[in-house]
């Protein structure tokens, strides 16, 4: 038994949903802790069925499951896995959700609309999670949607390393493709000591985006656009076009 295994002393259990099996396996290899045997399968009508095939009574269980595309299926898997673990008397259940779906619906954009991020937080909590671990939440305030602890980890150390390897830092400007992403872009800019630019994006209808203005100096610069969600891709494409146009003007 290696040092790390001895330290875990068999009390940490890792359970993987189907959203990103490769990531769960990498985490398991890194921790030298095998994935707990669990079956996640479907009935003919696509209802999800879960069976935890090992004893988890009294154990500290981490469920690795992003609520990425197909979001509803992966969310439901996470909820059912959590319920199964709770009913198996796990001591603590941490939902590890690297990509937190529904996060952009964190406020009412208009009358008679939902706050789906809050609903999802309620679902995860009521299913039985004791903690949530996620990466670069769309908005930090979503942590407050939970009454359980949320660890919001940052991917920036990995990105900074990559940017430093690929770019001449003196020429780089970090660009937020919309006003809502400024905190995220500023975080990266600060770490690599680069200037910041902002695209003033106006969205007329959901799923469509329209770029209005580039705020900041981008002429002759290597621009790094940073965003947390690519849905239609419109935001990033329009931002890139606006930057090229501004560079030519």
The catalytic residues are 201
State yes or no: residue 155 binds ligand R5P (CB under 6 A): no
Nearest-CA neighbor of 211 among 184, 185, 233, 234?
Answer: 234
Nearer to ligand R5P, 12 or 237 (CB): 237
- Helix, strand or coil, per DSSP, at residue 97: strand
Q: Least distance to ligand R5P from the beta carbon of 180, Å?
A: 5
Q: Choose between 155 and 230: whose C-beta lies nearer to ligand R5P.
A: 230
Residue ranges of the alpha helices (H) in 9-57? 21-31
Residues 88-147 that bind ligand R5P (CB under 6 A): 104
- Beta carbon nearer to ligand R5P, 74 or 201: 201
232 binds ligand R5P (CB under 6 A): yes
CA distance 188 to 171: 15
Characterise 82 by phi-psi region: left (phi > 0), alpha (psi -120 to 50), beta (else): alpha
Query: Rounded to the nearest whole angstrom, what is the least distance from the CB of residue 141 to ligand R5P in the complex?
Result: 13
The CA distance from 118 to 107, in Å, is 9
Under the binding rule (CB under 6 A), the answer on residue 181 touching ligand R5P is: yes
Count of residues binding ligand R5P (CB under 6 A)? 15
Least spacing, CB of residue 239 vs ligand R5P, in Å:
9
Distance of closest approach, residue 207 Cβ to ligand R5P, in angstroms: 6
The verdict on whether omega for the bond into residue 70 sits within 30 degrees of 0, i.e. cis, is yes
Q: Assign 29 to helix, strand or coil.
A: helix
Q: How far is the CB of 17 from ligand R5P (least distance, A)?
A: 23
Q: Is 227 in the site for ligand R5P (CB under 6 A)?
A: yes
Distance CA 145, CA 38 (A): 29
Backbone Cα Rg of the chain: 21
* Given 36, 59, 65, 235, the residue binding ligand R5P (CB under 6 A): 235
Is the Cβ of residue 183 or residue 229 nearer to ligand R5P in the bound state? 229
The SS3 assignment for 135 reads: strand
Q: Let me know: does 77 contact 19? Beta carbons within 8 Å.
A: yes
Please report whether residue 231 would count as binding ligand R5P according to CB under 6 A: yes
Contacting positions for ligand R5P (CB under 6 A): 104, 177-178, 180-181, 209, 227-235
């Amino acid at each position: 038994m290696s040092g790390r295994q001895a330290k875990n002393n068999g009390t940490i259990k890792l359970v993987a949903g189907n959203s990103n099996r490769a990531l769960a396996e990498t985490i398991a290899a890194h921790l030298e802790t095998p994935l707990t045997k669990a079956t996640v399968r479907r009935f003919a009508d696509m209802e999800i069925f879960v069976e935890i095939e090992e004893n988890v009574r009294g154990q500290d269980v981490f469920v690795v499951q992003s609520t990425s595309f197909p979001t509803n299926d992966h969310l439901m898997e996470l909820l059912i896995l959590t319920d199964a673990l709770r009913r198996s008397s796990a001591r603590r259940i941490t939902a590890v959700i690297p990509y937190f779906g529904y996060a952009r619906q964190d406020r009412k954009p208009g009358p008679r609309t939902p706050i789906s991020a809050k609903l999802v937080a309620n679902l995860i909590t009521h299913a039985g999670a004791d903690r949530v671990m996620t990466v670069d939440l769309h908005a930090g305030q979503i942590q407050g949607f939970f009454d359980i602890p949320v660890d919001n980890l940052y991917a920036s150390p990995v990105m900074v390393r990559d940017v430093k390897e690929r770019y001449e830092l003196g020429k780089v400007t970090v660009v937020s493709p919309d006003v809502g992403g400024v905190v995220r872009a500023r975080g990266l800019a600060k770490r690599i000591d680069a200037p910041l630019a902002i695209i003033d994006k106006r969205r007329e209808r959901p799923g469509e985006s329209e770029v209005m203005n580039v705020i900041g100096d981008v002429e002759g610069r290597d621009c790094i656009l940073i965003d947390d969600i690519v849905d239609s891709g419109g935001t990033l494409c329009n931002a890139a076009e606006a930057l090229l146009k501004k560079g030519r003007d």
